[in-house]
Structure 1
Amino acid sequence: MSDQGKIVVLSGGVGGAKLVYGLSKVLPPDALLVVANTGDDFSHMGLRICPDIDSLTYALSDLADPVRGWGRVDETWNFMRALKQVGGEDWFNLGDMDLALHIMRSHLLQSGKGLTEATRILCRNLGVQTTILPMSDDPVPTMVDTESGQLSFQEYFVREQCQPSVKGFSFQGADTARLNPGLRTCFENDDVAAVLIAPSNPFVSIDPILAIGGFADMLEGFDGPVVAVSPIVGGNAIKGPAAKMMVELGLPSSALTVAQHYQDILTGFVLDQVDAATAPQIKALDIEAHVEQTMMTDALSKVSLARACLKAANVVLDGGG
């Protein structure tokens, strides 16, 4: 790939981090720009926690736990045991090594750095060359409307284990939050070759990004490829509550539902071989359907899906493929 512009990836959750890892192996660092969902961010025990940024950071620094899919590899939990002993809240796990990232980020923010700058410093110190941009430096917390009342995302996802039935979502402050300037500049300078939407939850990982600063309108007006990867395979979410949310919102749990959700901005959609029969329905939406093996179980499969996504976006890599 040479002088084609950047590949912009919208990412949230473990699925997003896996695809970004694969992309980082086939693209030079300056060709990849990752936009992280920050709707999951929250303050806990005096620390600023940014789960989706952390998943990306750990994946790209080869520190991610391959078994749990989140947090650091070889983590220990002495802090949590001690915290429980003294009566602290223990519903959100903070590993001993993971604490270092949260403490350092909180220190940087308290010293006057914005989230973008704090993320850049942490990534640099961990050897991550790919640029990770928070969707905004302004807080935009995702709120989940449930049968039990409104919950912050982490309360719903971690404390309540996704049990309450979902009625809808809102993104507090999205109307006034500023889209990350680095992302906006990239589009204004025509420095975007293609946009990829990772296999992330469309409601709580990608919609928060689209809700900020007219970004959805920006994508509708973008004349390059916009390709999404389905997080739903065979009617089930690869990870997380996306399928459960669809059912509770009265929607079919399917790859087609995901394509319809993004219909106004997509030129292409990557779906798993299991859902190949859905391809004609996706094409009927005026979206190119690309049937691939989308399950990312190891480094090879992550790279393979990354290459397939780039091919679907008409991105030519140096050396072919």
Structure 2
Amino acid sequence: MKIVALAGGVGASKLLDGLRYAMDPRDLSIVVNTGDDIEMFGLYISPDIDIVTYTLAGEVNPAMGWGIKDDTFHCLEYLLRYTGGERWFNLGDRDLATHIFRTSLLRSGRKLSESADLIRRTLNVESRIIPMTDSHTPTTIITDEGDLHFQEYLVRRRAQPKVLGIRFENIESAYPAPGVAESILDADAVIICPSNPLISTGPILAVPGIRDLLKETRARVIGISPVVGGASLKGPTDKMMADLGMEVSAAQVAKSLSDFLDIYIIDYQDEFDATEIESLGIKVVVADTVMSNAEKKLALAQTTLKALA
């Protein structure tokens, strides 16, 4: 079974980590959010692509869910001696090697999708990793403190400012990266990973053409709720939804995907949402969606594949 997953960073990578053991990873293609991408110290950084790549390479820092395990920070510390800047975005020494290599490829004329494929192959990742677009479409968070790049909002300001709106820069002129359309149309199933629906899967679905592809594909589309018991397990999903006046619930997320979603997996804690979701014509599967260890990651991956069988 050929599967395409739409993914953000940490939350999605947990499910993807389970899927690489639950299925043949060569049959999995992952379309990754690039709205988080940012340039720092002259280097092009793709946080979600790197999280997914490091996870599937078995090299991610397990304590953080991002970065490389056992990495050191000598280069960053020395850089900050020169710049005198604030240390708000950690870049490890090995991680910096990835960013240097990617940036050199981009400056030589290679596309982001080409760099992602070369990096994942070098790290022996068997699944295909595709950025949602080769265009630069940074996510801007409109807040009561002004407009902030998503990384500044999340990392530097720790998601404290009130969110008034979200803007995906340059998105109207973006195109799906090479391989995105073909993968979705050829897939037997599409998985919407349990990522922030506003700033992880949201940017992917905002790329012109991708939402239409999900409506057109013969594949069954299954999603896993990123909301459990009225809250997000990781990141600012719940706060951002509340700031924007949205109900923080599995049902609310399902509604935002209802034009193409066939199946939705929700946690036992949200079983009361099942009737409302089913009224949208979506089949509901109730399971343990809290991936707190390797066994639970694998179990949710197996549940997802079983629901698609």
Same fold by TM-score greater than 0.5: yes
**Residues 11-50 of structure 1: matches in 2 within 5 Å?**
11-50=7-46
Q: Is the 8 A contact 2:43 2:99 kept in 1?
A: yes
Residue in structure 2 matched with residue 115 of structure 1 by the alignment: 112
- Offset at residue 260 of structure 1 (A): 1.3
Shift of 1:174: 1.3
In 2, distance between residues paired with 1:76 and 1:105? 20
Residue 285 of structure 2 is aligned to residue 305 of structure 1: no
Counterparts in 2 of 1:88 and 1:148: CA distance versus 1, 3 Å = closer
Quick one: which of 165, 168, 176 aligns to 2:162?
165
Say which of 6, 13, 37 aligns to 1:10: 6
Question: Structure 1: how far apart are the matches of 2:202 and 2:233?
Answer: 18
Match of 2:285 among 290, 309, 320: 290
Map 1:1-321 to 2 at 5 A: 4=1, 6-86=2-82, 87-187=84-184, 190-314=185-309
Secondary structure of 1:204 counterpart: coil
On the 8 A contact 1:83/1:89 being kept in 2, the answer is no
Identity of aligned residues (%): 44
Which one is further off, 39-48 or 208-217? 208-217
- Per the TM alignment, residue 127 of structure 1 is displaced from its structure 2 partner at its CA by 1.0
| CA distances 1:229-287 after superposition (whole Å, capped 9, x unpaired) | 11111111010000001111111211111111211121111111111122112111211
Q: CA deviation at 1:73?
A: 0.8
Note the C-alpha offset of 1:185. 2.1
Asked if the contact 2:291–2:300 (Cα under 8 Å) also holds between the matched residues in 1, the reply is: yes
The one-character-per-residue Cα deviations of 1:69-89 (angstroms, maximum 9, x if unpaired) are 111111222223223322144
Superposed CA deviations along residues 125-169 of structure 1, whole A, max 9, x for unmatched, are: 111111000001111111111111211111111111111101111
**Hey, what's the Cα distance between the residues in 2 that align with 1:159 and 1:167?**
18
Matched residues in 1 for 2:200 and 2:49: separation? 12
Give the Cα separation in 1 of the matches to 2:22 and 2:109.
35
The answer on whether the counterparts of 2:140 and 2:166 sit within 8 Å (CA) in structure 1 is yes
5+ residue gaps, structure 2, are none
Whether the 8 Å contact between 1:83 and 1:90 is mirrored in structure 2 is no
Q: 1:64, 1:73 within 8 Å by CA — same for their partners in 2?
A: yes
Residues 142, 163 of structure 2: 8 Å contact kept: yes
| AA aligned opposite 2:125 | V
Kindly provide the amino acid, as one letter, of the partner of residue 77 in structure 1. F
The one-letter amino acid paired with 1:96 is D
2:23, 2:104 → 1: CA distance? 32
Contact 1:230–1:258 (CA<8 Å) still a contact in 2? yes
Q: For each residue in 1:201-236, what CA deviation from the matched residue of structure 2 results, as whole angstroms up to 9, or x when unmatched?
A: 000001111111221122123343111111111111
Equivalent position SS for 1:202:
coil
Q: Per-residue deviation at 1:46?
A: 0.6
Shift of 1:94: 0.7
Residues 228 and 269 in structure 1, CA contact (< 8 A), matched pair in contact too: yes
Matches of 1:10 and 1:155 in 2, distance apart? 24
Distance 1:211 1:157 in 2: 20
- In the superposition, the TM-score normalised over structure 1's length comes to 0.92
Indicate conservation of the 8 Å contact 1:39/1:140, yes or no.
yes
Q: Which runs of 5+ in 1 are unaligned?
A: 315-321
Question: Equivalent residue of 1:203, what SS?
Answer: coil
Output the CA distance in 1 between the equivalents of 2:95 and 2:275. Answer: 45
Whole-angstrom distance in 2 between the partners of 1:116 and 1:11: 15
